[in-house]
């Protein structure tokens, strides 16, 4: 923990750590949701959907890493057990029971939209109060916005494909 670094944070640091741990849990679950989705996916445009899911999985894991580093900087402890991901997460894991590419896209779009809302709230909390967390969350939020758009663009391509067929 950086003592001065913690001191300059203008919000309740314990509350911030708690919120970051929630995001940390969600990132791991998002990572797994993408990763396992890419394994089981079936249906039209499978190749491009899988490539996108794998790329997103990598981003979510990177987000988890960034958040863990920030939690440690603030003197907190990242959740130590995968059991905690379910208990502490906000966006909830969506099990890909239907492996069709359409269902996978829908689930992951929902997850991204939940993440976007969560990070927007977090940004409002730390704005002008904690520039380090603010910068990090801004970077993550930009990725989530891009993820949502990537998935919706594939859905749109599929709709066009169905029309011409």
Query: What are the residues binding Fe ion (CB under 5 A)?
Result: 27, 60, 63, 112, 144, 147
Tally of CA atoms within 13 A in the half-sphere of 116 that contains its CB: 14
Q: Give CA–CA dist 125/31, Å, rounded.
A: 25
Q: CB 165 → Fe ion: shortest distance, Å?
A: 30
Q: CB 33 → Fe ion: shortest distance, Å?
A: 10
Q: CB 146 → Fe ion: shortest distance, Å?
A: 8
Q: Single out the residue of 108, 112, 119, 118 nearest to residue 36, CA to CA.
A: 108
Q: CB 60 → Fe ion: shortest distance, Å?
A: 4
Q: Give CA–CA dist 126/133, Å, rounded.
A: 7
Among residues 52 and 130, whose Cβ is nearest to Fe ion? 52
Among residues 98 and 149, whose Cβ is nearest to Fe ion? 149
Among residues 84 and 150, whose Cβ is nearest to Fe ion? 150
Among residues 54 and 75, whose Cβ is nearest to Fe ion? 54
Q: Roughly how many angstroms between the first and final C-alpha of the chain, as a whole number? A: 59
């Amino acid at each position: 923990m950086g003592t001065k670094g913690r001191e300059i944070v203008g919000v309740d640091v314990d509350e911030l750590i708690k919120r970051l741990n929630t995001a940390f849990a969600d990132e791991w679950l998002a990572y797994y949701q993408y990763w396992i989705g890419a394994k089981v996916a079936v249906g039209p445009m499978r190749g491009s959907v899988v490539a996108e899911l794998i790329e997103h999985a990598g981003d979510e894991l990177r987000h988890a890493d960034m958040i863990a580093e920030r939690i440690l900087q603030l003197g907190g402890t990242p959740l130590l057990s995968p059991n905690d991901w379910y208990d502490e997460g906000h966006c909830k894991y969506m099990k890909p029971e239907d492996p069709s590419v359409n269902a996978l896209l829908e689930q992951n779009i929902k997850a991204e939209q939940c993440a976007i809302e969560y990070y927007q709230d977090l940004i409002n909390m730390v704005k002008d109060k904690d520039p380090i967390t603010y910068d990090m969350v801004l970077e993550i939020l930009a990725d989530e916005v891009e993820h949502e758009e990537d998935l919706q663009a594939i859905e749109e391509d599929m709709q066009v494909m169905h029309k011409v067929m």
